[in-house]
Structures are given as structure tokens and as C-alpha cells.
Amino acid sequence: MNNINISGAGKIDGGEYGTIKISGASKAQGDIKAESVRVSGSAKFTGTVQADEIRVSGSCHFDKSVKADQMSISGSCRINGEIEAEIIKISGTVVVDADINVDNFTVEIGRGSSFQNIFGDIVTIHSHVLVSAKEIEATTIDVDNLKAHRISGEKVTVRGDSDIDIVEYRESLEIEEGTKIRKVVKL
């Protein structure tokens, strides 16, 4: 399997790779399948990306869908397509324009991040600055400073300056004083 290492400016063609390491600026054209994608510079992916591991500590733009076992972003990222991953860890600014289907989703910091719908098992958003999402449906939801239309889960915790239109819970709900919730529904 091909490994690619770009430390200047470079172009990557669509295809199957082992490890893709980008520490410069690069553009990938075409659908990418890899074992590992590591970006510590800036990268733009115009096709779909499927990898066991995706690590971004720079800036990244994904034009289409992303599929990974583990995804960690500690820079800034914009993703225009759907994300499907087992584990997603974000500690940067991430804007996702489509749905996220994930097992375990964690946002720490998250300044300026915005999401559409997040569906999964465990969703944790602990951010100092407001993070926005449309709807979150998960088994366990623990959010701090989230602005959302609707969150729905088994065990839900809402803290900080969170501002949520509808909170649905099945088993337990913990709301910190000061949070703005317009409607609470016990399922």
C-alpha cells in the first residue's frame, strides 16, 4: 500500500493508501481510502474520505462525506458531507454541514463550532464558548454551552449558558441553573 508524505505543497490523487501525512498544504482530488490520514498543515479533500484514523491538527476542508473509526481534530475543520465515525474528538473549530453518525462524540473547547444533527451513543460537549447544533439524539448527552433546537436522550445533562428549545429525556435529566430551556419532555 502506498504511503504519502507531503511536507510542502502537493497534490494527492484519489485512491487507496496506507498512511497519508500532510504537513504542508495539499489538495486531494478524488475519493480517498486510507489506513491513516494525518494533517498538521492544511489540506483540502474534494472527494470522499474513508480511513481507520483521521488526525487533523491544522486546518482541513472536506468537501464530501467522511468515514473513520477514529477522528480527532484539534485545529479547524470544515466538513460539507456526512460524517460516520466510531469516535470523534474535537478541540478546535469544526463546522459540519451535514449529519454526524457517531458512537462517541466529544467536543472540548469548540470555539465557533457548529453542527447540524448528531446521532449516536455518547455525546459530550464541554466548551467555554457557545457551540451550536441543530438536533442531538444520543443515549447519553452531556452539554455545556450548547445552543440547539432539540436534544433527546436517555440521560441528559445541560450546563453553562446552554440555550435549547426542546430537551427530551427518558431516564434522567440534570439542568444547571442559568441554562435556557424552553421545553422539557419526558419520554
Partner 1 sequence: MISKKDLLKQMDISYGQLYRWKRQELLPKEWFIKMSVATGQETFFDEKLIVPRIKKILELKDKYQFDELKNFFNIDIEKKKFDKNELYKVEDLDSYIITDFVKEKSELNLVDVIIIYLFSKYKCLNYDEYKDYDFSKLKLDSYFYLLEDDQKKIYMFIGDSNMIIDKKLVVKEKISFENISTTLANILKD
Q: Note whether 84 binds partner 1 by CB under 8 A.
A: yes
x/- map, 57-76, partner 1, by CB under 8 A = ------------x-------
Stretch that binds partner 1, among 6-14, 18-26, 57-65, 99-107 (CB under 8 A): 99-107
Q: How far apart are CA 111 and CA 173, in angstroms?
A: 26
x/- map, 6-45, partner 1, by CB under 8 A = ----------------------------------------
Among 166, 170, 175, 184, binds partner 1 (CB under 8 A): 170
> Residue 63, by phi and psi: left (phi above 0), alpha (psi -120 to 50) or beta?
alpha
Among 49, 75, 94, 99, binds partner 1 (CB under 8 A): 99
- In three state form, how does the secondary structure of the chain look? CEEEEECCEEEEEEEEEEEEEECCEEEEEEEEEEEEEEECCEEEECCCEEEEEEEECCEEEECCCEEEEEEEECCEEEECCCEEEEEEEECCEEEECCCEEEEEEEEECCCCCECCEEEEEEEEEEEEEEEEEEEEEEEEEEEEEEEEEEEEEEEEEEECCCEEEEEEEEEEEEECCCCEEEEEEEC
- Given the complex with partner 1, which of 103 and 165 has the nearer CB atom? 103
Q: Note whether 53 binds partner 1 by CB under 8 A.
A: no
Stretch that binds partner 1, among 20-28, 41-49, 71-79, 113-121 (CB under 8 A): 113-121
Q: Note whether 139 binds partner 1 by CB under 8 A.
A: yes
- Given the complex with partner 1, which of 44 and 64 has the nearer CB atom? 64
Give the binding site for partner 1 (CB under 8 A). 69, 84, 86, 99, 101-103, 119-121, 137-139, 153-154, 170
